[in-house]
Structure 1
């Protein structure tokens, strides 16, 4: 026959199991609310040229679309419309961002870069974020050297060396510890001779979060197990009390 001490231990184990099962829940995103940011061009000062703050820029919240009818500033030159868009839904915990421009010229003093079809996108949910940064085409021209063709639709983090100038990264993608994904269609890092500047073209970043009105819950199967454990615990308590009174 099971001793009273053994029954008590079994009862405590059942109660602990029920507590652990009922309190288990999903691992939500680290952000308290969804966020997103987008801009088309930005640059440090390059060989005497002025720096360029992110433009046009959009940030969620509050989000929306901002456009710029061409730009001739710092190393950048284009007559095309630059468009940056962000959006989000706190109820669903989602966000999105995009940055686009049809064509863009970049003057690096020791080289020039021509880009077409620049498009960066980012979409985030509570489960994570995905995105891409693409160009339809690109060419780097250097004095006395063959031109360098930049790959269209390159794989994430494709690097291209520009002799004597620096490095180009196509479809640059990085994810922060809080789950925010950052996508740059093109990022150019220059050598110290050009002040070690960085130029960013087609920037989109986004991060999801726990839905605003949601309460972390376990799935129905886990809930059923937890409920059964709780019922078993209650039944065991009643049984012990009856045995105690009749002993």
Structure 2
């Protein structure tokens, strides 16, 4: 009798465990989010600070544009466009940041030219993906020119003599499943005052669909509860039989 009771209880526990493990895994966010901006730079000897421009955030989402820009190290006659969107009912989000042509000037010794900058990302309850590219680009330091790789693989790092590091298609994902992409990220050496320059920035994070937030799966909850109840009733029944 003891053996039979043990088998019944073990079977019920195994079924409940297997069923619970089948519940889908969602991102840690409770609602989708997205962010996009085209350019930003922080302090160069505390003399240069450019806040993210233009910037779009979801929610509420939408498109922000600047027609031409001359601020801090950045200059262009092109249109800068940042767009974000999302849908809480499906737990999805998206973002893009683009500019056709952009010039950089960081003092008399450093200049740069970028064309065809485009960063994008998309997220859903299962995760997020993104990409940041340029069609062409150069960085010139004290007359020495370095060509930047077009359509570079993610996290392509380049050391520019006299400047520091340039990362192309920089990508990272945080603990909440939010992906961050920078088409170009320049990190300047302390000898030049120290600064971070970002071109083409997007972030995307997915979340459980709105209908599933209170309970991941209603059927999982009902069936799981039924299995637990069956295990309890089985225990009571076996004890009475014993």
TM-score by length of 1: 0.86
Residue 83 of structure 2 contacts residue 97 of structure 2 at CA under 8 Å; is this kept in 1?
yes
Residue 45 of structure 1 contacts residue 74 of structure 1 at CA under 8 Å; is this kept in 2?
no
Aligned to 2:150: 152
Find the aligned partners of 1:41 and 1:227 in 2 and give their Cα distance.
52
Moved over 3 A (4+): 217-220, 226-241
Aligned to 2:202: 204
* 1:127-142 pair list within 5 angstroms: 127-142=126-141
TM-score by length of 2: 0.87
Find the aligned partners of 1:138 and 1:39 in 2 and give their Cα distance.
19
Aligned length: 237
Which one of 83, 92, 95 corresponds to residue 93 of structure 2? Answer: 95
Cα distance change, pair 74–43 in 1 and its aligned pair in 2 (3 A): same
Cα distance change, pair 112–47 in 1 and its aligned pair in 2 (3 A): farther
Find the aligned partners of 2:26 and 2:143 in 1 and give their Cα distance.
55
Residue 45 of structure 2 contacts residue 194 of structure 2 at CA under 8 Å; is this kept in 1?
no
Q: Deviations over 1:155-184 (max 9, x none)?
A: 111112221111111100011111110000
Which one of 177, 180, 195 corresponds to residue 178 of structure 2? Answer: 180
Aligned to 2:8: 11
Runs of at least 5 residues in structure 1 that lack an aligned partner in the other structure: none
Aligned to 1:170: 168
Find the aligned partners of 2:35 and 2:11 in 1 and give their Cα distance.
49
Runs of at least 5 residues in structure 2 that lack an aligned partner in the other structure: none
Find the aligned partners of 2:226 and 2:63 in 1 and give their Cα distance.
52
The structure having more radius of gyration, on CA atoms, is: 1
Residue 5 of structure 2 contacts residue 235 of structure 2 at CA under 8 Å; is this kept in 1?
no
Aligned to 1:53: 51
Root mean square deviation of aligned Cα: 2.8
Determine if the alignment matches structure 1 residue 126 to structure 2 residue 125: yes
Segment drifting more, 21-30 vs 102-111: 21-30
Cα distance change, pair 187–6 in 1 and its aligned pair in 2 (3 A): same
Find the aligned partners of 1:161 and 1:239 in 2 and give their Cα distance.
73
SS of aligned partner of 1:213 = helix
Aligned to 1:190: 188
Q: Deviations over 1:26-45 (max 9, x none)?
A: 22111111110000000013
